[in-house]
Structure 1
Amino acid sequence: MGIRFVLMVNKQGQTRLAQYYEYLTLEERRALEGEIVRKCLARNEHKCSFVEHRNYKIVYRRYASLFFLVGVDDGENELAILEFIHLLVETMDRHFGNVVHFMLEEMVVNGCIVETSKANILTPVQLLDKTS
């Protein structure tokens, strides 16, 4: 099958994004995420980015304060998954990095907060998305 799940977790261990490609109940997901996050975050940066857990191979990589963890089948190529994680991060950064700067520009002008309405901030972003 290949990739079983993708997680994005902050350095406090809170899941910020979870996408599963196999059925697991919410209870099973929470338990699995807790186990994997504790295991990966406890490792230092000098250790390899591959961990075996249950019937998964976990490939993970840290970018700033976020960890990207991908659970794969045992036969999956770890280096290819590391490349996939890097591609995912670069793509998200390119898209959302621009969006974040755009939203900030809508909210702050010359160091002063000029807009606090979420609707007013997001309207130009949504229009920008429609033109893309």
Structure 2
Amino acid sequence: MIKFFLLANRQGQIRLSQYYENIPFEQRPAIEAEIIRKCVSRNASQCSYIEYHSYKVIYRKYSSLYFIVGVDNSENELAILELIHNYVEILDTSFEQVVYKAHFILDEMISNGNIVEISKNAILDYVNLMTLTDR
């Protein structure tokens, strides 16, 4: 099960954070800072998985952004890397209003910490439908 999804830049600034488990709001900045520091400090030859307390943290770097997902031990790391890749492709396809759409697309892919949709075409169809109704 997915516990959180973070998007951060190389300087460690959070660009998006979504939690699927109750983590007190006041604890989040410290957790995020430590996880991001660990991910940013790793080099390209190291694997994209780290352990952090009771979480497996899977991350992927695209350009200057780090897409970071915290999961429990039952989750498949390769499936999470595929989820991240699909999310990035969908963001690339629908780059207008990126912050609003980033949350919207993530909500279409993950619900209550569970992956519910990974089809790029299905998600883009829904995003395009919502974009048409917003006009």
Does residue 56 (structure 1) correspond to residue 55 (structure 2)? The answer is yes
Structure 1 residue 28 displacement after superposition: 1.2
Aligned residues: 102
Does residue 93 (structure 1) correspond to residue 92 (structure 2)? The answer is yes
State the partner residue of 1:108: none
- Give distance in 2, aligned partners of 1:131 and 1:73: 37
Deviation by residue 1:25-75 (Cα, 9 ceiling, x = unmatched): 122111110110011100001100000000000000000010000000012
Matches within 5 A, 1:52-91: 52-91=51-90
- Give distance in 1, aligned partners of 2:39 and 2:132: 38
Structure 1 residue 15 displacement after superposition: 0.4
- Give distance in 2, aligned partners of 1:18 and 1:131: 26
Q: What TM-score do the two structures reach when normalised by structure 2?
A: 0.72
**Which amino acid in structure 2 is aligned with residue 129 of structure 1?**
T
Q: Which has the larger radius of gyration?
A: 1
- Give distance in 2, aligned partners of 1:87 and 1:28: 29
Give the RMSD, CA atoms, in angstroms.
1.6
Structure 1 residue 24 displacement after superposition: 1.2
Structure 1 residue 131 displacement after superposition: 4.6
**Which amino acid in structure 2 is aligned with residue 4 of structure 1?**
K
SS of aligned partner of 1:74 = coil
Structure 1 residue 79 displacement after superposition: 0.4
State the partner residue of 2:18: 19
SS of aligned partner of 1:47 = coil
